[in-house]
Amino acid sequence: MRGGDTAVGAPDGDDTPLFRLLGPVRVGLPGAPAVRPGPPGRQAVLSVLLLRRRRPVTVAGLVAAVWGDDAPASAAGNLRTHLWALRTLLEPGRTAREPARILRGDEHGYTLHTPPEAVDAWRFEQRAEAARRARERGDTAAEHTLLADALALWSGEALAGVPGPFAAAERTRLAVLRTTARKRHIVCALRLGLHHTVIPELTALTAEFPLDEELRALLMRALHGCGRQAEAFTVFADTHRILAEELGVTPCPELTALHARLLTDAPKPLLQARPVAPARPLEAGTPADEAEGARAEERSLAEERALAAAQRVLTGTADRAAVPVLVLTGPAGSGKRALAVRIADTIAHRFPDGPLFVDLRTPLTPLTPLTPHPQAPVPAGPGPLPADLPGALLADLLRTLGIPAARVPADPEQRAALYRSALAVRRVLVVLDGARDAAQVTPLLPGAPGNAVLVTTRSRALGLPGAAYVDLDAARPRAARTHPGEGTRAPDGAVPGQEHLPRELARAALLLARSGPGPASVGDLAAVLGTGLTDAALTAEALVDAGVLDTPAAGTYRPQARP
């Protein structure tokens, strides 16, 4: 049933009216065009009765829903007039002596006896729920079709022009559901390879909601998927400018990471993570080459074992009562992030709502001020994080999950509760990269089964109850102990504290340290390293992952502060 043109399963016969609320309010009677049910106040009364879905509403309840605290003295009389007019409209052939069949009143209040299928808002929610179930089954094509059918029921703003507090609240609720459905429909199209079909809608949506970074990320993916890389980068540049002008902030880490991935021309669909630069091979035939080959074999074996453990932990309990948590530990440069990306890609089919990537090393900045005091600055090097950082992270995550900024609570504990509620109806792999301690992680853990959590950290004592741990450093026998001084020795004059880096990264770190302490662009790094822009971006991101550089702004790098 589309657009409310026919009734499905109407129990009261084929003369049941049809109701449209997803746009201007309309009533369709059999054999007649849809019409407005009367003035705005009458539309408000009808909307309350329809959305209460056969639950009686008292006179006091109707007055409060339609007029709120500003109800006039004549509200009860006006209400009786509206109810009489609605009865006349819905049952035009009924005589004065016949009891009403559709709009009935008794000692409990007033009730509209209509099948739920007669209301387009109900059909929209049912199809959205069916799409969610298809997503749980991993059936992207079915989800895409169901969401298209659900969105086709809309003809404008829900309850357009209808007054009263009840209509205002329902208008907001339905708008959030519509926005969520539109984004999910676009994500499905991208997963199905239909990039070109969503570019017009995304272009219009980003113009309507210029501060929505999720929409801009989707537009960048769609453009890149169509081979329009220059336009995708222009979207990022426009986003950077708009956020700076309107809010005084830079793009969120997820969008910045996506931009970095697109620079490499190898985007990972629906997972925002920084690329890791591959180490260049040593010259063949040298002892160092043999040592490096042995170390590479050991790293590969350790990672395969870690991947197998991750699959057992994260998917083996996905349908049970507990939320599985896997922690990858290891020193800087041990490949934790790269392995986390690989794990997320491998088990993506078990989490149809996609991974939710959170970079805990670079704090998210709230898009709107949600606390009465400014957020404290975060130190670049090791040290305690601000107490309100989990609340700021939760605020941005809630907006990522489709919660309007106006509905995000100011209290961090309430934000955590809303975050858990939002994940309760999804199946998501939450990837928490670069955790320092359990206090950072605990507020970001889902509360409902079906979700899972993957954490990367340098700490071997994170202290998460019930979590499984994989220590990458312990899993890899150190080749340097077998071949002391061979292969892994950093270049002469290497920066102290960076001896753990692979040869090429250690050389790059030394060159960058000699070039000066100030911020540098990717072009500056390319000039210093003697490489192209893509190789420079890959190397810079690998050094960020190793804790050598940080990123004070999009596309800008500087040496990490040292204690």
The DSSP annotation for 451-486 comes to BEEEEEES-S----TT-EEEEHHHHS--HHHHSTTS
Q: At what angle do helices 59-67 and 75-90 cross, to 10 degrees?
A: 100
Which residues lie below 8 Å from residue 513, measured CB to CB, with a gap of 6+? 495, 559
For 22-31, 55-64, 93-102, 200-209, which range has the lowest pLDDT when averaged over its residues? 93-102
Question: What's CA 329's distance to the chain center, in Å?
Answer: 26
The rounded distance, in Å, linking the Cα atoms of 426 and 175 is: 19
Backbone dihedral region for residue 468 (phi beyond 0: left; psi -120 to 50: alpha; all else: beta): beta
Q: Mind listing the domains of the chain with CATH numbers? A: 1-175 (1.10.10.10), 193-280 (1.25.40.10), 287-368+395-475 (3.40.50.300), 490-559 (1.10.10.10)
List Cα–Cα distances, 60 to 63, 66, 68, 87, 407, in angstroms.
5, 10, 10, 19, 27
| Top-confidence residue, 39 or 276 | 39
Checking if the pLDDT of 272 tops 70, the result is: no
Q: Tell me the mean pLDDT in the region 292-318.
A: 63
The rounded distance, in Å, linking the Cα atoms of 42 and 78 is: 9
**Average pLDDT of the chain?**
76
Checking if the pLDDT of 111 tops 90, the result is: yes
pLDDT at 150: 95
Residue 500's pLDDT band (cuts 50, 70, 90): low
pTM exceeds cut of 0.85: no
Residue 172's pLDDT band (cuts 50, 70, 90): very high
Q: What percent of the chain has pLDDT over 90?
A: 30
From the list 517, 495, 521, 515, the residue with the least C-alpha distance to 506 is 495
**Residue 141, number of CB atoms within 10 A of its CB:** 11
Checking if the pLDDT of 319 tops 80, the result is: no
Q: What percent of the chain has pLDDT over 70?
A: 73
The rounded distance, in Å, linking the Cα atoms of 469 and 193 is: 36
Residue 424's pLDDT band (cuts 50, 70, 90): confident
Residue 562's pLDDT band (cuts 50, 70, 90): low
pLDDT at 3: 38
For 258-267, 288-297, 367-376, 391-400, which range has the lowest pLDDT when averaged over its residues? 367-376
From the list 118, 159, 143, the residue with the least C-alpha distance to 22 is 159
pLDDT at 256: 86
The rounded distance, in Å, linking the Cα atoms of 273 and 545 is: 10
Helices of type H across 137-252:
140-151, 165-191, 195-208, 213-225, 229-246
| Top-confidence residue, 500 or 550 | 550
Residue 95's pLDDT band (cuts 50, 70, 90): confident
Helices of type H across 278-388:
287-316, 336-346
Instruction: Look up residue 212 and give its amino acid.
Output: D
Checking if the pLDDT of 98 tops 70, the result is: yes
Helical (H) or strand (E) element with 106: strand 103-106
Checking if the pLDDT of 498 tops 70, the result is: no
**Residue 383, number of CB atoms within 10 A of its CB:** 10
Backbone dihedral region for residue 447 (phi beyond 0: left; psi -120 to 50: alpha; all else: beta): alpha
pLDDT of 504-533, one tens digit each?
777 787 887 777 767 777 778 878 887 766
The rounded distance, in Å, linking the Cα atoms of 513 and 524 is: 13
The rounded distance, in Å, linking the Cα atoms of 552 and 280 is: 28
For 3-17, 25-39, 102-116, which range has the lowest pLDDT when averaged over its residues? 3-17
Residue 148's pLDDT band (cuts 50, 70, 90): very high
Checking if the pLDDT of 266 tops 90, the result is: no
| Top-confidence residue, 218 or 433 | 218
**Residue 522, number of CB atoms within 10 A of its CB:** 22
